[in-house]
């Protein structure tokens, strides 16, 4: 997929250790998340359907999370013993409603089944979307208590995935948090997206035609912070209410 911009390497005070599995690590958001975790000192194990280019410091494992069933992921969790799993995989703004159901709902169900079957308890960071909420009138801020009334197939499928994670937390079956991201823009934005089209047009109209460096650091930093630093019990209490908003 064509991309816009040059990815930068996030920096910041967050530091950690251990292995983190990033599902969808070769995608736009997953790539920024992996870079932030790498910079913070984690070992990144990238998981995706297709082996695209990743940094030399990452390990890569090809896996189809939807069609392959949960068994392969269960085996990976048992073998690798990650401290956290970040789910940056999914289907974005597609005319294929069934594809969004598979990749935004079924994938999450299989991820939760794999974690439960593994006997391990890595922290799960599910990347949701602000499109899980109802559209807000102009001038009204979106908050964590805003109505969860999505108006698109994308928002509805993402909401079902988020709710599945939160149900697992309430049942004591997962140590997890949901970060609901706003529309993300930064280096590597796919040109097929609305914001990517705008960026491409701005780039084409620049005087020297040189790529402009722009980072998606807030989202990546929020995910990095969510992989550590708080006891499972405290995360569970925070996740039974509407999911945290991770605006970027």
Encode the chain (248 residues) as per-residue pLDDT tens digits: 333 334 444 444 555 689 999 999 999 899 999 999 999 999 999 999 887 788 999 999 999 988 887 899 999 999 999 999 999 998 877 778 899 999 999 999 999 999 999 989 999 999 999 999 999 888 888 888 899 999 999 999 999 999 999 999 999 999 999 999 987 877 777 776 667 777 777 777 665 555 444 445 566 666 677 776 544 443 333 333 333 333 34
Rg (CA), the chain: 17
User: What pLDDT does residue 65 have?
Assistant: 86
Q: Is residue 42 annotated as a catalytic residue, yes or no?
A: no
Chain-centroid distance, C-alpha 219: 9
Cα separation of 48 and 190, whole Å?
A: 17
Strands 123-129, 175-181: pairing kind: parallel
CA atoms within 13 A on the CB side of 36: 25
Contact 235, 177 (CB under 8 A): yes
CA distances from 164 to 48, 57, 98, 158 (A): 22, 33, 18, 10
Contact 21, 43 (CB under 8 A): no
User: What pLDDT does residue 194 have?
Assistant: 66
Which entry of 28, 42, 133, 154 is annotated as an active-site residue?
A: 154
């Amino acid at each position: 997929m064509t991309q816009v911009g040059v990815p930068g390497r996030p920096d910041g005070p967050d530091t950690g250790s251990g292995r983190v599995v990033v599902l969808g690590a070769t995608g736009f958001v997953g790539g920024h998340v992996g870079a932030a975790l790498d910079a913070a000192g984690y070992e990144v194990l990238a998981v995706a359907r297709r082996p695209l280019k990743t940094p030399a410091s990452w390990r890569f494992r090809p896996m189809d999370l939807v069609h392959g069933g949960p068994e392969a992921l269960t085996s990976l969790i048992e073998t690798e013993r990650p401290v956290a799993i970040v789910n940056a995989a999914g289907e974005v703004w597609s005319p294929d409603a069934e594809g969004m159901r598979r990749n935004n709902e079924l994938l999450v169900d299989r991820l939760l089944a794999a974690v439960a079957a593994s006997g391990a308890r890595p922290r799960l960071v599910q990347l949701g979307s602000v499109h899980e909420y109802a559209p807000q009138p102009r001038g009204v801020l979106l908050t964590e208590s805003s109505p969860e009334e999505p108006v698109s197939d994308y928002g509805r499928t993402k909401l079902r995935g988020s709710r599945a994670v939160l149900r697992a937390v309430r049942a004591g079956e997962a140590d997890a948090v949901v970060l609901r991201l706003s529309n993300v823009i930064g280096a590597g934005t796919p040109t097929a997206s609305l914001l990517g089209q705008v960026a491409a047009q701005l780039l084409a109209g620049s005087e020297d035609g040189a790529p402009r460096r722009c980072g998606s650091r807030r989202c990546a930093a929020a995910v990095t912070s969510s992989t550590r630093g708080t006891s499972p019990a405290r995360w569970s209490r925070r996740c039974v209410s509407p999911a945290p908003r991770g605006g970027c």
